[in-house]
């Protein structure tokens, strides 16, 4: 049988996984960490510590600021120095808790041993609560609070849990290394999430360019099945290498052959997707009482001599990581937090890592410089590459014409900003740049309309 | 490193540009170019040189001195137009006629519409058709290729011209074929009269396969043209083989292969979607056979492509990719 993949669009950038043989190594703890309270999608967390407080590793620094929000824990032990806005990697001010590090003392109740805990608690609610208390968020990029995602709205039914091990972004290898080195923990984490969802089948999707990971996880599953029947129904699915397979909608399409309706949630087709790193975080939070205080970061790039996968404490300044590996290479012009397709360019090296920081990538001018755009030759490559079936060339034209109505009709709001259009355009037209702006405009209109409709409905009720 | 570059994602780009795509088309045309030079000699070389040079020069002059913009000749599209135009005229065409064709192709069909990407009609075909209606004698004066660097060229009609002429004199098709001694092997390996690009089917097909392998074009439009031409002529030929030519004859003669492989697949003037392309190709195939059977001209590929070019915006509206998660 042909290997599965998603049905529309996609591109095949060179995977450049040059750091694939670098085992995850813990990075030294810096003298000061800067922990942002906005590390997830949704409302920023509310600080519950004050300047001068002593904190230990794993103690709560901030509480959820709303339903869609998450706990923030201290990643170090030390003294809270300040709670004030600080520039993030783009230079935008974010409320940040600064902690001066003193020693490395962990909060009580956290199991820091390596002992594998394979027992799956029966009570899903209890697991969910521990996930919430552990500040677990989706580590695949979106950083959506995991406990919210695992509480499907009433009336919806989950049929399958998909663990996302695609890591389809070029250069990134932290999920790959996690699968190899912490495979057991990832599978236990998957079983825990599966338990919360009522024991649904679980598919771990891994792209074919990681055969070692596929083989290893298959072994782990076989081993764990002998330990407990809770591990029945977990399987690995090898997927064709194709970007953006790790996109939630694309992965569901690839695994289940179901398309999440436009504007709908994955649960509407019976799917819940969680990333490999998230499964590991779930394991830590539930089995070890260990909240997210660190995460693996790939530091890579052809121009960067020291490839590495590092276990980094949340809030570590980027400059500290880079300096520990020999500093910014001479010919690097751009540093990206994340992968080259969807990552964000770093403007401020004094910014600190977040829970969701997956990589620091160094690119040279030759690799990353945009070329001057020329005329559209109507080759249709952008439309062919778009995994959402959109027509980027058309959206670009409509945005220039300011035609919001047609932009909406042509589904600009469905854009997942994967970058395939701009990546594949032979005329170097900045398609995604334009589409992002168009999408923002149209989303504003859609939201205003929804708000107006809601207000009108309430007015008639009275 | 003093400063960090900050720009939105994606941060990498596929190694493809308009220039690289057009260069691939030029490479794909090389076998046919070499064949035509081998068959027709220095006269053909002169036509190629005049055509390419004038197309590039005209585009340069227009962009730099009339539009006062940076020149766009670097994208290589003018070179492609130049080669295609040269392959579309008889090698006996005077250089100044070729120049006029280039002016029409680039200045009128391409630049007045706004340059590459904006033109509705394929520039090379527009140029060829302009010459055909303006200089009918020159454009229908064929000399059969005679061995290498043909010295004793024999003037004669192309197979399609011969058929048209014969039918006007009420001679049945098989008799015309027999009297002219046409064989399909000759057609495939280039031994019959025609404009340079029509002479060697194999060289053209090799270029087409190269373009498909390099993923510069998709094969659907071309295949659709071939299938439609074959089916349409099979039906007519089946009904009356004395009046109508057969499928293989129609596939191998005239500019069909050149048109189907290199002109109908022009990005700018063909539909974007696969099914749009299939419809587009079917239209070209059908119209080509109809013009050959019932039209005043012996050859119909150019007109068929021009006519279907006009339908492209309409086809693009009708065949849209299904959007993800939408009905």
* Complex prediction ipTM: 0.89
Let me know whether B165 and B301 are in one domain: yes
Q: What is the pLDDT of residues A358-399, one digit of tens each?
A: 999 999 999 998 899 999 999 999 999 999 999 999 999 999
Let me know whether B89 and B227 are in one domain: no
Smallest Cα distance from B283 to chain A, Å: 20
C-beta separation of A89 from A318 below 8 A: yes
pLDDT value for A152: 84
C-beta separation of A99 from A29 below 8 A: no
Query: Which range is least confidently modeled, A345-349, A364-368, B161-165?
Result: B161-165
Please name which of A352, A299, A295, A355 lies closest in space to residue A142, comparing C-alpha atoms.
A355
Cα–Cα distance measured from residue A293 to residue A71, given in angstroms and rounded to the nearest whole number: 11
For chain B, give the mean pLDDT: 86
pLDDT value for B201: 82
Asked whether residue B148 carries a pLDDT value surpassing 60, the answer given is no
Which among A248-252, B68-72, B155-159 has the top mean pLDDT? Answer: A248-252
Please name which of A229, A236, A242, A246 lies closest in space to residue A215, comparing C-alpha atoms.
A236
Preceding omega of A412 cis (within 30 degrees of 0)? no
Let me know whether B88 and B175 are in one domain: no
Q: Which residues contact A145 (CB under 8 A, 6 or more apart)?
A: A40, A41, A42, A64, A68, A69, A70, A132, A136, A137, A138
pLDDT value for A46: 94
Q: Which residues of B touch A432 (CB under 8 A)?
A: 8-10
Of A338, A369, A400, the last residue of a domain is: A369
In the block, tokens 């019976």 appear at A270
Q: Which residues of B touch A349 (CB under 8 A)?
A: 4
pLDDT value for B184: 65
Q: Which residues of A touch B73 (CB under 8 A)?
A: none
- pLDDT band of residue B147 (cuts 50, 70, 90) is very low
Q: What is the pLDDT of residues A270-285, one digit of tens each?
A: 999 999 999 999 999 9
The mean pLDDT value for A160-172 works out to: 95
Asked whether residue B188 carries a pLDDT value surpassing 60, the answer given is no
Asked whether residue B152 carries a pLDDT value surpassing 60, the answer given is no
Alpha helix ranges (H) inside chain B = 18-40, 42-61, 77-87, 95-102, 123-134, 136-139, 159-168, 173-180, 184-188, 201-213, 220-239, 247-252, 256-258, 274-294, 301-318
Answer yes or no: is A225 within a domain. Answer: yes
Relative orientation angle of helices B301-318 and B274-294, to the nearest 10 degrees: 150
pLDDT value for A104: 93
In the block, tokens 């080195």 appear at A181
Let me know whether B101 and B169 are in one domain: no
Answer yes or no: is B193 within a domain. Answer: yes
C-beta separation of B143 from B90 below 8 A: yes
Which range marks the domain in which residue A394 is found? Answer: 381-461
pLDDT value for B145: 56
Is A261's Cβ below 8 Å from some Cβ in B?
A: yes
Is A424 close to B16, i.e. CB distance below 8 A? yes
Let me know whether A349 and A413 are in one domain: no
Let me know whether A206 and A277 are in one domain: yes
Let me know whether A166 and A268 are in one domain: yes
Q: What is the pLDDT of residues A19-74, one digit of tens each?
A: 999 999 999 999 999 999 999 999 999 999 999 999 999 999 999 999 999 999 99
Answer yes or no: is B5 within a domain. Answer: no
Cα–Cα distance measured from residue B74 to residue B77, given in angstroms and rounded to the nearest whole number: 8
Let me know whether A447 and A326 are in one domain: no
Answer yes or no: is B46 within a domain. Answer: yes
pLDDT value for A196: 94
Smallest Cα distance from B107 to chain A, Å: 17
Cα–Cα distance measured from residue B254 to residue B295, given in angstroms and rounded to the nearest whole number: 15
β-bridge partners, A204 = A163, A236
In the numeric block, which tokens belong to residue A29? 């703890």
Asked whether residue A347 carries a pLDDT value surpassing 90, the answer given is yes
Q: What is the pLDDT of residues A437-456, one digit of tens each?
A: 999 999 999 999 999 999 99
Let me know whether B212 and B125 are in one domain: no
Q: What is the pLDDT of residues B26-64, one digit of tens each?
A: 999 999 999 888 888 888 899 999 999 999 999 999 999
Let me know whether A300 and A386 are in one domain: no
pLDDT value for B252: 83
By CB neighbour count within 10 A (0-12 exposed, 13-18 middle, 19+ buried), where does A123 fall? exposed
Q: Which residues of A touch B72 (CB under 8 A)?
A: 374-375
In the numeric block, which tokens belong to residue A298? 């790939």
By CB neighbour count within 10 A (0-12 exposed, 13-18 middle, 19+ buried), where does A331 fall? middle
Answer yes or no: is A9 within a domain. Answer: no
Distance of CA B11 to the CA centre of its chain: 38
Q: What is the pLDDT of residues B236-285, one digit of tens each?
A: 999 998 888 889 888 887 789 999 999 999 999 999 888 999 999 999 99
- A229 DSSP 8-state letter: G
Is A363 close to B11, i.e. CB distance below 8 A? yes
Task: Determine the longest span between alpha carbons in chain B, in angstroms.
Answer: 83
Answer yes or no: is A83 within a domain. Answer: no
Cα–Cα distance measured from residue A385 to residue A419, given in angstroms and rounded to the nearest whole number: 9
Q: What is the pLDDT of residues A253-271, one digit of tens each?
A: 999 999 999 989 999 999 9
Out of A11, A349, A433, closest to residue B14 by CB:
A11
Cα–Cα distance measured from residue A180 to residue A182, given in angstroms and rounded to the nearest whole number: 6
Of A319, A335, A369, the last residue of a domain is: A369
Q: Please give the tally of structural domains in chain B.
A: 2
- pLDDT band of residue B149 (cuts 50, 70, 90) is very low
- Give CA separation, B167 vs A375, B164, B193, B276, B296, in Å: 48, 5, 19, 36, 12
End-to-end CA distance of chain B: 51
Let me know whether A424 and A350 are in one domain: no
In the numeric block, which tokens belong to residue A64? 């959820």
Asked whether residue A286 carries a pLDDT value surpassing 90, the answer given is yes
pLDDT value for A86: 95
Q: Which residues contact B113 (CB under 8 A, 6 or more apart)?
A: B119, B120
Q: Which has the higher per-residue pLDDT, A416 or B183?
A: A416
Answer yes or no: is A89 within a domain. Answer: no
State phi, psi for A419 to the nearest 5 degrees: 90, 5
Q: How many cross-chain Cβ pairs, A to B, lie less than 8 Å apart?
A: 156
Answer yes or no: is B109 within a domain. Answer: yes
* Percentage of residues in chain B having pLDDT higher than 90: 55
- A291 DSSP 8-state letter: -
Is A265's Cβ below 8 Å from some Cβ in B?
A: no
- pLDDT band of residue A144 (cuts 50, 70, 90) is very high
C-beta separation of B116 from B301 below 8 A: no
Q: Which residues of B touch A370 (CB under 8 A)?
A: 7, 13
Smallest Cα distance from B284 to chain A, Å: 19
Residue A10 exposure: Cα atoms within 13 Å on the Cβ side:
21
Q: What angle do CA B255, B257, B263 make, to 5 degrees?
A: 80
Answer yes or no: is A200 within a domain. Answer: yes
Is B268 close to A377, i.e. CB distance below 8 A? yes
Cα–Cα distance measured from residue A324 to residue A326, given in angstroms and rounded to the nearest whole number: 6
Please name which of A385, A386, A173, A460 lies closest in space to residue A299, comparing C-alpha atoms.
A173
Let me know whether B182 and B101 are in one domain: no
- pLDDT band of residue B150 (cuts 50, 70, 90) is very low
Let me know whether A312 and A362 are in one domain: yes
Let me know whether B88 and B233 are in one domain: no
Let me know whether A322 and A451 are in one domain: no
Q: Please give the tally of structural domains in chain A.
A: 2
* DSSP character string of A392-426: HHHHHHHHHHT-HHHHHHTTGGG-----HHHHH-T
Of B139, B169, B196, the last residue of a domain is: B139
Look up the pTM and report it: 0.90
Asked whether residue B194 carries a pLDDT value surpassing 80, the answer given is no
Q: Which residues of B touch A368 (CB under 8 A)?
A: 5, 11-12
The mean pLDDT value for A69-91 works out to: 95
* Percentage of residues in chain A having pLDDT higher than 70: 99
Let me know whether B234 and B127 are in one domain: no
CATH number at residue A128: 3.40.50.11540
Let me know whether A354 and A280 are in one domain: yes
Cα–Cα distance measured from residue A446 to residue A454, given in angstroms and rounded to the nearest whole number: 12
Of A339, A369, A399, the last residue of a domain is: A369
Q: Which has the higher per-residue pLDDT, B3 or B152?
A: B3
Which range marks the domain in which residue B171 is found? Answer: 161-318
Q: What angle do CA A234, A223, A180 make, to 5 degrees?
A: 80
Q: How many residues does chain A have?
A: 462
The mean pLDDT value for B183-198 works out to: 59
Asked whether residue B302 carries a pLDDT value surpassing 70, the answer given is yes
Let me know whether A195 and A291 are in one domain: yes
Let me know whether B234 and B107 are in one domain: no
Please name which of A313, A20, A405 lies closest in space to residue A175, comparing C-alpha atoms.
A20
Cα–Cα distance measured from residue B107 to residue B88, given in angstroms and rounded to the nearest whole number: 18
Q: Which has the higher per-residue pLDDT, B82 or B153?
A: B82
Let me know whether A232 and A282 are in one domain: yes
Please name which of A374, A379, A439 lies closest in space to residue A413, comparing C-alpha atoms.
A439
Answer yes or no: is A217 within a domain. Answer: yes
Preceding omega of A344 cis (within 30 degrees of 0)? no
Is B272 close to A387, i.e. CB distance below 8 A? no
Q: What is the pLDDT of residues A193-239, one digit of tens each?
A: 999 999 999 999 999 999 999 999 999 999 999 999 999 999 999 99
Let me know whether B119 and B174 are in one domain: no
Let me know whether A206 and A291 are in one domain: yes
Answer yes or no: is B327 within a domain. Answer: no
For chain A, give the mean pLDDT: 94
Out of B11, B20, B118, closest to residue A334 by CB:
B11
């Amino acid at each position: 049988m042909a290997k599965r993949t998603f049905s529309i669009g996609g591109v095949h950038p060179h995977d450049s996984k040059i750091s694939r043989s670098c085992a995850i190594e813990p990075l030294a703890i810096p003298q000061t960490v800067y922990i942002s309270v906005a590390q997830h999608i949704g409302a920023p967390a509310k600080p519950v510590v004050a300047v001068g407080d002593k904190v230990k590793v794993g103690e709560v620094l901030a509480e959820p600021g709303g339903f869609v929000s998450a706990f923030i824990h201290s990643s170090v032990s030390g003294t809270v120095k300040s709670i004030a806005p600080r520039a993030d990697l783009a230079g935008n001010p974010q409320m940040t808790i600064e902690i001066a590090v003193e020693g490395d003392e962990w909060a009580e109740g956290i199991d820091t041993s390596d002992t594998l805990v394979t027992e799956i608690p029966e009570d899903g609610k209890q697991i969910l609560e521990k996930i919430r208390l552990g500040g677990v968020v989706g580590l695949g990029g979106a950083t959506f609070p995991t406990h919210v995602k695992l509480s499907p709205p009433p009336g919806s039914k989950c049929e399958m849990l998909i663990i996302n091990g695609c890591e389809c972004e070029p250069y990134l290898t932290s999920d790959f290394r996690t699968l190899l080195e912490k495979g057991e923990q990832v599978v236990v984490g998957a079983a825990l999430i599966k338990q919360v969802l009522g024991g649904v089948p679980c598919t771990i999707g891994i792209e074919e360019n990681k055969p070692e990971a596929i083989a290893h996880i298959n072994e782990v599953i076989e081993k764990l099945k002998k330990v407990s029947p809770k591990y029945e129904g977990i399987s690995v699915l090898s997927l064709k290498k194709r970007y953006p397979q790790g996109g939630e909608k694309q992965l569901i399409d690839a695994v289940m052959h179901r398309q999440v309706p436009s504007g709908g949630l994955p649960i509407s087709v019976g799917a819940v997707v969680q990333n490999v790193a998230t499964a590991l975080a779930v394991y830590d939070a539930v089995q070890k009482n260990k909240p997210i205080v660190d995460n693996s970061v790939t530091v890579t790039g052809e121009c960067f001599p020291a490839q590495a996968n590092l276990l980094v404490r949340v809030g570590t300044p980027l400059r500290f990581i880079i300096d520990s590996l020999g500093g910014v290479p001479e010919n690097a012009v751009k540093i990206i937090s994340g992968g080259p397709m969807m990552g964000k360019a770093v403007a401020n090296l004094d910014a600190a890592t977040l829970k969701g920081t997956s990589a620091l990538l160094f690119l040279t001018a030759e690799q990353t410089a945009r070329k001057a755009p020329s005329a559209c030759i109507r080759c249709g490559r952008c439309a062919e590459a778009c995994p959402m079936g959109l027509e980027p060339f058309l959206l670009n034209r409509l945005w220039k014409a300011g035609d919001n109505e047609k932009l909406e009709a042509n589904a600009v709001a469905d854009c997942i900003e994967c970058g395939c259009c701009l990546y594949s355009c032979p005329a170097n037209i900045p398609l995604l740049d334009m589409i992002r702006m168009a999408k923002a405009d149209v989303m504003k209109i859609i939201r205003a309309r929804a708000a107006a409709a809601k207000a009108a409905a309430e007015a008639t009720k009275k | 490193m003093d400063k960090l570059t900050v720009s939105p994602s994606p941060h990498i780009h596929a190694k493809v540009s308009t220039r690289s795509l057009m260069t691939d088309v030029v490479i794909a045309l090389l076998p046919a170019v070499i064949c035509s030079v081998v068959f027709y000699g220095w006269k053909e070389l002169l036509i190629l040189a005049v055509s390419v040079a004038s197309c590039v020069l005209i585009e340069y002059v227009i962009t730099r001195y009339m539009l006062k913009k940076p020149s766009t000749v670097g994208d290589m599209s003018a070179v492609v137009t130049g080669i295609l135009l040269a392959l579309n005229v008889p090698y006996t065409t005077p250089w100044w006629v070729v120049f006029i064709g280039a002016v029409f192709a680039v200045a009128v069909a391409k630049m007045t519409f706004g340059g590459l990407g904006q033109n509705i009609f394929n520039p090379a075909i527009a140029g060829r058709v302009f010459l055909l209606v303006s200089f009918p004698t020159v454009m229908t004066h064929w000399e059969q290729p005679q061995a290498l660097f043909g010295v004793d060229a024999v003037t004669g009609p192309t197979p399609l011209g011969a058929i048209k002429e014969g039918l006007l004199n009420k001679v049945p098709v098989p008799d015309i074929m027999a009297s002219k001694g046409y064989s399909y092997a000759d057609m495939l390996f280039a031994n019959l009269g025609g404009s340079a690009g029509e002479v060697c089917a194999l060289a053209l097909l090799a270029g087409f396969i190269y373009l498909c392998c390099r993923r510069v074009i998709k094969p659907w439009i071309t295949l659709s043209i071939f299938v439609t031409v074959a089916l349409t002529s099979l039906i007519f030929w089946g009904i009356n083989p004395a009046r109508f030519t057969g499928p293989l004859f129609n596939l191998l003669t005239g500019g069909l292969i050149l048109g189907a492989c290199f002109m109908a697949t022009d990005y700018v003037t063909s539909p974007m979607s696969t099914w749009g392309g299939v419809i587009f190709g079917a239209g070209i195939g059908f119209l080509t056979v109809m013009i050959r059977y019932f039209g005043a001209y012996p050859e119909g590929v150019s007109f068929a492509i021009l006519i279907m070019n006009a339908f492209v915006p309409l086809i693009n509206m009708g065949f849209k990719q299904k959007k993800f998660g939408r009905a």
